[in-house]
A = this chain, B = another copy of it.
Amino acid sequence: MAKLDLFKFVPFRLNRLGAEVSAALSNEYRARYGLDIPEWRVIATLGFRDEACSAQYIAQCTRTHKSTISRAVTALLERALIARVENADDRREFRLALTAAGHALYEELIPCLLRREQEILGCLTPQERKEFARLLGKLEDNLDLVRAPRPMSEVEVY
Give chain A's interface residues, CB within 8 Å of chain B. 1-22, 24-25, 41, 44-45, 47-48, 61-63, 107, 110-111, 113-114, 116-117, 120-124, 128, 131-133, 135-136, 138-143, 145-146, 148-149
CB-CB under 8 A for A136 and B13, given A4-B113, A4-B114, A148-B7:
yes
Chain B residues with Cβ under 8 A from A4's Cβ? 44, 47-48, 110, 113-114
Q: Could you name 12 residue pairs across A and B whose Cβ atoms are closer than 8 Å?
A: A4-B44, A4-B47, A4-B113, A6-B61, A6-B149, A10-B120, A12-B41, A12-B62, A15-B21, A18-B18, A20-B63, A128-B138
In whole angstroms, what is the CA distance A2 to B148 when docked? 20
List the number of copies, as a whole number: 2
* A14, A25, A149 pick with most chain B CB within 10 angstroms: A14
